[in-house]
Amino acid sequence: TTSCMSSQKPQLFSTLLYSLVPIIGLAAVVLFSFWMWRHHKLAYPAALVPAHDPGPSPPSPILGHKPLQLIEVKARGRFGCVWKAQLLNEYMAVKIFPIQDKLSWQNEYEIYSVSGMKHENILHFIGVEKRNNNLDLELWLITAYHDKGSLTDYLKANVVSWNELCHIAQSAARGLAYLHEDIPGHKDGHKPSIAHRDIKSKNVLLKNNLTACIADFGLALKFEAGKSAGDTHGQVGTRRYMAPEVLEGAINFQRDSFLRIDMYAFASLWELASRCTAADGPVDEYMLPFEEEVGQHPSLEDMQEVVVHKKLRPCLRDCWQKHTGLAMLCETIEDCWDHDA
């Protein structure tokens, strides 16, 4: 009996280590993001720079006159549609903006052009182009193509193991933490802190190995010294993922406030937990946060009622709390929701 018990101890230790190490890593990355906006004060007052006026954009020198063939539409969004395209033997993603959404195209192009924006967990930017003429003008933004699509798409069709959940969550957290970080001494020049302002599972893309990368910077803001906030509108993003202060229109137009709003939306980790096979019992069908309460197309008033007045949050299931790793993930999700964390 004694030898049996002693042999079980290393096995128990290995199991705990297997479960806890990935989620502790995730929690560390998320907590680092919190530390960024609570403690890392710059020497100058943080101000917002809406990236709306980079001037005329030259054609992408990468493409030149090579034929870029549009193959199929993969997604449609607020500012345009995303095509799978082919350039010679390589696939790319082409996001096509109509001319009326020029400001969003310019904003995304400028954010991608910021020094230091090359990172494993930020969608790889290739170039921009203007196509056609006059009334038919289209604005193209060309990036790497990832066949697995968004985290939303993947979770609709697949469940995830505990290891897969940890890999996706950690890589997404690294991308967001890097985006938020101010790096004065970056090798490519000063990389400013950037707020995404539309964090959601649809804007997290998955590579073939399930590494996550952050995408869609049409609403992003960068923070620089001595620049005013301009006409920045605080109540932007996707309603379902809006923090309470955004829904109320009570946002403080400072860097810390915008980074905190990103962290609230990053609690979309809940969607990963809801499709994870690690907990006992059946795995739920994929649902968006608050889908039971407000359906698939909530109004601003719907979300205000649920999040602000009723103070509801997506349900953290009891069976998740019985799994050591998922229980820690639930704590991380609650920290994202908690402004005083």
pLDDT in tens, 114-123: 999 999 999 9
Structure tokens at 237: 């993003």
Same domain, 94 and 223: no
Same domain, 171 and 23: yes
Last residue of a domain, one of 103, 119, 144: 144
Q: Looking at residue 23, what is its pLDDT?
A: 58
Same domain, 200 and 316: yes
Outline where the chain has alpha helix (H): 2-39, 102-113, 151-157, 162-180, 244-247, 255-265, 269-274, 291-294, 300-303, 318-321, 324-337
Same domain, 333 and 268: yes
Higher pLDDT, 57 or 24: 24
From CA 300, how far away is CA 167, in angstroms rounded?
33
Q: Looking at residue 31, what is its pLDDT?
A: 52
Q: Is the pLDDT of residue 58 over 50?
A: no
Q: Looking at residue 11, what is its pLDDT?
A: 55
- Decide if 198 is catalytic: yes
Q: What is the mean pLDDT of residues 248-268?
A: 89
**pLDDT grade for 46, boundaries at 50, 70 and 90:** very low
Last residue of a domain, one of 128, 144, 160: 144
pTM for the model stands at: 0.82
Q: Is residue 11 part of a domain?
A: no
Q: Looking at residue 67, what is its pLDDT?
A: 80
Q: Is the pLDDT of residue 183 over 50?
A: yes
Q: Looking at residue 40, what is its pLDDT?
A: 44
Same domain, 111 and 166: no
User: Mean pLDDT for the chain?
Assistant: 83
Cβ contacts of residue 76 below 8 Å, gap of 6+? 82
Please report, in angstroms and rounded to a whole number, the separation of the first and last CA atoms in the chain. Answer: 46
**pLDDT grade for 229, boundaries at 50, 70 and 90:** very low
Domain that holds residue 307: 19-49+149-337
Q: Is residue 55 part of a domain?
A: no
If DSSP codes are grouped into helix, strand and coil, which group holds residue 333? Answer: helix
Q: Are 222 and 117 in contact (CB under 8 A)?
A: no
Same domain, 121 and 159: no
Q: Is the pLDDT of residue 228 over 60?
A: no
Q: Looking at residue 63, what is its pLDDT?
A: 60
Same domain, 154 and 136: no
pLDDT in tens, 187-215: 888 899 999 999 999 999 999 999 999 99
**pLDDT grade for 300, boundaries at 50, 70 and 90:** very high
Q: Is residue 180 part of a domain?
A: yes
Q: What is the mean pLDDT of residues 147-163?
A: 97
Structure tokens at 156: 């609709």
Q: Give the count of beta carbons closer than 10 Å to the beta carbon of residue 138.
A: 16
Q: What is the mean pLDDT of residues 287-291?
A: 97
Q: Is residue 8 part of a domain?
A: no
Catalytic residue among 182, 198, 216, 262: 198
Q: Looking at residue 189, what is its pLDDT?
A: 84
Structure tokens at 131: 């196509």
Q: Of the given ranges (187-201, 232-246, 279-293), which has the lowest mean pLDDT? A: 232-246
Same domain, 102 and 240: no
Q: What residues are paired with 222 via a beta bridge?
A: 49, 194
Q: What is the mean pLDDT of residues 7-31?
A: 53
Q: What is the mean pLDDT of residues 137-148?
A: 96
Q: Is the pLDDT of residue 39 over 50?
A: no
What CATH number corresponds to the domain at position 76? 3.30.200.20
Q: Is residue 57 part of a domain?
A: no
Q: Are strands 125-131 and 138-144 parallel, antiparallel or unpaired?
A: antiparallel
Higher pLDDT, 43 or 12: 12
Same domain, 120 and 258: no
Overall number of domains in the chain: 2
From CA 209, how far away is CA 263, in angstroms rounded?
25
**pLDDT grade for 30, boundaries at 50, 70 and 90:** low
Q: What is the mean pLDDT of residues 288-313?
A: 96
